Structure 1
């Protein structure tokens, strides 16, 4: 199977869950920004394990399929069309050979994920298929997709013959979709006043009382300078009780650092391995997908929770995903 990029869009890369265990060598984790959408995208096309998916930021990507293939689109709604027909999300979709899938104006969220049955056929680098853009490794030639690129996939895990018992055909015949879908309940895609739950960071007590209160009282806005490395926020300046020098130490996905200008940065998938700015907060892992889907101009309000609550939320999300995966697996067995 193969498909060719007709238009590359703003930023489309191949990503999985990233490179683990190489931080001591200065190699970042990378990987998908929205792990919830990633995991369900793979399961919807029968992929088990950590297959690469296309992470599509904003809009503009268009690809032509050269044979029939099952795909699934999850995450943000970037108005996907196949030959001009709206494509349902969060369900298996059988795209026919010669058809063009394109992404357009974001309707909700800003990052979509496209999986393909069998998984994309690209080599692993340091145990991962993810694209590390700054180093130029992984994914498709270590870079974002360009016009004319041809992506190949492993043999499909799902049969491509149709059955009216489990499928319905759209009016134009360019693709088929499963009758069922999963609910996109993992996050809110409104982009306004998203409530992000955080724990106090290692240096929370180093910030003055007004800054501690402002963190949980005021609204922060995502700036256009945000990217896969970090989301830069604009809001009331957060200041230390007194100037201090900090030793650089490891940082994690969702660490909230505050540089000298007082404007916080939420570290994301392409974050550096070490950070020397004071860390005022740590985002609970269940809310990372919510942040990943915020566009520039989107707003955040932070809510303080305990470690015990963060662990409870993590366990609940894990149970939810396992249940959804079991249901999807059962549905696919019917085929």
Structure 2
């Protein structure tokens, strides 16, 4: 029997993403991909997929998915409040775990916080890649389901309607460090000099409402261009993490869907280990920056990868006493009743009080 997940509600912005499509920036195609790769890998591991399998990236909550035609195993990674809906019954469910939805059951992402991102992995999700990736880049209509944000009524097909394996959980939810965002000087640092960088590092910035997968506008102290330096340059290459400064001095931090070239000078670049933290901040959230060397950025990336690997290695079957699932294999291995007397034995055998 064919099974699929149907989106009955999609919230603010919901899309299919994976690791993205690197290698095409030279022809003007952004890499796109998930805003938080760690959440993608955790969710996929919980669901029983390969680490870079396509996921449903959720902004701010409000998403609801229903299993149709068969059972579907899904997993949610992120600080999300969830509800499992069975008919008229609503059961609160923890994130950072997988769950098998029977036909007709729904999973609702009630809210996401303190950040704004969560990833839903679907075991066996079947999509056709475009340029080697299923990631949605809506500005060019590239990616899964014709390269657009998901809509209510969209159906996501899965490879099997009989999920294998027990449900899994991450023992301790993945948390991000509460520390300033680390940056290295950008390619047009000379347009701002030490004074401009000092403004960026000393300022208390806020995430503006004009923010999306392409980038976020930072509201705070204006960063001045040096006298004689134009506020625009001949367009050159841009990468996610670049911090552009247009003529008004209000910086823009670019994210996964960033354009491949641009004409605003770039004062700094956010290191890869911190870019997910920027992407996950909601409008109004505070951002502070600190400068590091390129070598320190490389070390931070390696440390982050090792920490993620340890978290994934800790994933385990859901505990039977968690109230979330029952490990049938553990029940079969356990002696649940002690003190049993064999009535067929003579001589008044004493009960076996061992467990």
**TM superposition score normalised by structure 2:** 0.82
Deviations 1:17-51 (A, max 9, x none): 11111111111111111111111111112211521
Equivalent of 1:135 in 117, 140, 161: 140
Q: Which residue of 2 aligns with 1:45?
A: 47
Displacement of 1:194 after TM fit?
A: 5.5
C-alpha RMSD of matched pairs (Å):
2.2
Equivalent of 1:237 in 218, 222, 243: 222
Equivalent of 2:263 in 276, 289, 296: 276
C-alpha contact 2:213 2:255 (8 A) present in aligned 1: yes
Q: Which residue of 2 aligns with 1:27?
A: 29
SS in 2 for 1:259: coil
Displacement of 1:251 after TM fit?
A: 1.1
CA separation of 1:184/1:204 partners in 2, compared to 1, >3 Å: closer, same or farther?
A: farther
SS in 1 for 2:39: helix
CA separation of 1:105/1:331 partners in 2, compared to 1, >3 Å: closer, same or farther?
A: closer
C-alpha contact 2:40 2:52 (8 A) present in aligned 1: no
Q: Which residue of 2 aligns with 1:110?
A: 116
C-alpha contact 2:77 2:119 (8 A) present in aligned 1: yes
Q: Which residue of 2 aligns with 1:218?
A: 203
SS in 2 for 1:238: coil
C-alpha contact 1:46 1:158 (8 A) present in aligned 2: no
Deviations 1:205-262 (A, max 9, x none): 3215432212111100000001100111011110111232522221111111111110
CA distance in 1, matches of 2:174, 2:66: 30
SS in 2 for 1:310: helix
Q: Which residue of 2 aligns with 1:165?
A: none
C-alpha contact 1:69 1:116 (8 A) present in aligned 2: yes
**How many residues matched?**
311
CA distance in 2, matches of 1:222, 1:281: 17
Displacement of 1:109 after TM fit?
A: 1.0
Displacement of 1:322 after TM fit?
A: 2.5
Equivalent of 2:242 in 255, 261, 272: 255
Displacement of 1:182 after TM fit?
A: 4.2
Displacement of 1:155 after TM fit?
A: 2.9
CA distance in 2, matches of 1:186, 1:89: 13
Q: Which residue of 1 aligns with 2:341?
A: none
Q: Which residue of 2 aligns with 1:145?
A: 150
Structure 1 unaligned regions, length at least 5:
163-176
Q: Which has the higher contact order (CA 8 A, sep 6+)?
A: 1
SS in 1 for 2:180: strand
Equivalent of 1:10 in 12, 29, 39: 12
CA distance in 2, matches of 1:142, 1:42: 21
Structure 2 unaligned regions, length at least 5:
319-326, 330-355
Deviations 1:281-322 (A, max 9, x none): 111111111111100000100011111211111111112222
C-alpha contact 1:249 1:274 (8 A) present in aligned 2: yes
SS in 2 for 1:54: strand
CA distance in 1, matches of 2:309, 2:62: 33
C-alpha contact 1:36 1:186 (8 A) present in aligned 2: no
Q: Which residue of 2 aligns with 1:316?
A: 303
SS in 2 for 1:109: coil
C-alpha contact 1:121 1:153 (8 A) present in aligned 2: yes
